[in-house]
């Protein structure tokens, strides 16, 4: 069973919510965060990326940054203000654009269930990023980033969400990127219905936020509590039904062709794949579109699928085939996470950004992928396998600062 637990959320008032809400800490650089906070003293980036208030050049993982984050959260509670709800509750978090809408159940989820595999990952984490958010949580005394979760749609849970999302919202803002973020606070009766209904869900899947939850598990160890009901044993998340979750492609560019000319690279590609000129930059499943020498090419993976491991859902992913059968053997990219030649371009930037990168000379070749589906993600998590890095871009993104989980009861 999956546990969801009410909590006393720290959140902005309706009047200040639009100013407080910020992009997630991990989708912007320090320079971008400085620009976003320049004329907005209430932006939650002052907490999640507190280096913006310290001299240029300071390391974002330094102790001074975490101490400033703690001070900034205290300041924001007065300046915004931020308020703590009187009683524990559950919440709904809605995301809406012109083309898409999703509403999920927000609350605290069990770190014991994360340890037990009921909350399932699909990506590996990096120790340095875990260190960062662990130090941030411990110093600030709160979990400030929400874990984006999904689950196989359940009729009882979905009925609670549908009923409660028709009520008056607690917070409702339109972000600068034209995404509407709406928060509803559930009544005591609705909380009871939601907890009982969610207990029917056999597993919860991490969509976006692997480092946040891994860091919460480590912060629990540092903020030791022998009370199993203490806040440190739970993490803040929003669980969306899988049928509403939207995943966009996460594309790649590469600088250089490992010493090969474009003509030689195309020749060797043709010995391994079905390669032809293409009029589209968005490939179907089972292939990849490649931008090279100012034109698009289609690379069909059908010729290499016959010798793939049976029963491995990861091996069948286009992004895995691209890495294992093309980028590593033909371009010498063994660790895509650390190779400086590789740049990842995800989400709504689309394939125009790939063309611009290659045509400007920043990159030599670009690869456009079909998006991973929610069903593929769930199957991979159920199999206990891990996707290649940067395989999924969930869209829209949750905003930091609208719901905060204090770690003190």
| Eight-class DSSP state of 281 | S
Together in a domain, 243 and 261: no
SS3 121: coil
Do 67 and 114 sit in the same domain of this protein? Answer: yes
CA distance 108 to 110: 7
387 inside domain? no
Looking at the structure, do residues 198 and 331 belong to the same domain, yes or no? Answer: no
pLDDT confidence of 306, banded at 50, 70, 90? low
Secondary structure class of 180 (helix, strand, coil): strand
Residue 377 lies in a domain: no
Return d(Cα 136, Cα 61) in angstroms, integer. Answer: 9
pLDDT of residue 245: 96
Residues 268 and 334 in one domain: yes
| One domain for residues 75 and 211 | yes
Residues 39 and 98 in one domain: yes
**Shared domain check, 160 and 113:** yes
């600088």: which residue's tokens?
255
Averaged pLDDT score across all residues of the chain? 94
Most trustworthy range by pLDDT among 131-140, 332-341, 345-354: 131-140
Write down the pTM of the prediction: 0.93
Q: Is residue 91 part of a domain?
A: yes
User: Does residue 227 have a pLDDT over 90?
Assistant: no
Total number of residues shown for the chain = 409
Q: Note whether 255 and 238 are same-domain residues.
A: no
Q: In the 8-state DSSP scheme, what is residue 400?
A: B
pLDDT at residue 303, rounded to an integer: 66
224 — pLDDT class (breaks 50, 70, 90)? confident
Q: How many CA atoms lie within 13 A of 225 on its CB side?
A: 16
Task: Give yes or no for residue 289 having a pLDDT over 70.
Answer: yes
What is the domain extent for residue 235? Answer: 4-247+395-406
Residue 310: pLDDT band with limits 50, 70, 90 = low
- Model confidence band, residue 305 (pLDDT cutoffs 50, 70, 90): low
Number of domains observed in the structure of the chain: 2
């Amino acid at each position: 069973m999956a546990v969801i637990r009410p909590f006393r959320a720290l959140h902005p008032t309706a009047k200040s919510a639009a100013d407080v809400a910020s992009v997630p800490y991990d989708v912007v650089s320090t320079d971008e965060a400085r620009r976003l906070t320049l004329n907005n003293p209430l932006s939650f980036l002052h907490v999640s990326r507190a280096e913006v208030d310290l001299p240029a050049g300071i390391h974002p993982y330094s102790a001074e940054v975490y101490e400033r984050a703690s001070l900034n959260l205290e300041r924001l509670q007065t300046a915004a203000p931020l308020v703590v709800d009187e009683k524990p509750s559950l919440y709904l978090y809605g995301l809406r654009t012109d083309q898409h809408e999703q509403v999920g159940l927000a609350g605290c989820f069990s770190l014991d269930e994360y340890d037990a595999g009921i909350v399932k990952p699909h990506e590996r984490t990096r120790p340095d990023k875990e260190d960062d958010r662990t130090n941030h949580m411990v110093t600030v005394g709160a979990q400030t980033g929400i874990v984006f979760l999904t689950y196989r749609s359940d009729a009882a849970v979905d009925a609670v969400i549908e009923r409660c999302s028709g009520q008056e919202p607690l917070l409702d803002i339109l972000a600068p990127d034209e995404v509407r973020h709406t928060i509803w606070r559930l009544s005591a009766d609705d909380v009871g219905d939601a907890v009982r209904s969610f207990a029917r869900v056999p597993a919860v899947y991490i969509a976006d936020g692997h480092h946040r939850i891994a860091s919460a598990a480590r912060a629990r160890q540092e903020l030791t509590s022998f009370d199993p009901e203490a806040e440190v044993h739970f993490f803040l998340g929003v669980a969306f039904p899988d049928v509403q979750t939207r995943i966009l492609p996460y594309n790649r560019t590469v600088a250089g062709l490992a010493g090969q000319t474009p003509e030689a690279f195309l020749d060797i590609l043709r010995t391994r794949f079905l390669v032809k000129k293409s009029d589209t930059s968005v490939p179907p499943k089972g292939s990849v579109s490649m931008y090279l020498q100012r034109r698009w090419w289609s690379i069909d993976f059908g010729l290499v699928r016959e010798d793939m491991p049976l029963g491995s859902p990861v091996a069948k992913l286009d992004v895995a085939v691209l890495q294992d059968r093309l980028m590593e053997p033909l371009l010498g990219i063994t660790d895509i996470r650390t190779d400086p030649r590789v740049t990842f371009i995800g989400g709504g930037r689309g394939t125009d950004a790939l063309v611009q990168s290659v045509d400007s000379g920043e990159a030599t070749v670009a690869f456009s992928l079909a998006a991973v589906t929610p069903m593929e993600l769930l199957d991979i998590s159920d199999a206990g396998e891990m996707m290649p890095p940067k395989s999924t871009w969930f869209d829209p993104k949750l905003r930091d600062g609208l719901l905060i989980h204090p770690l003190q009861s």
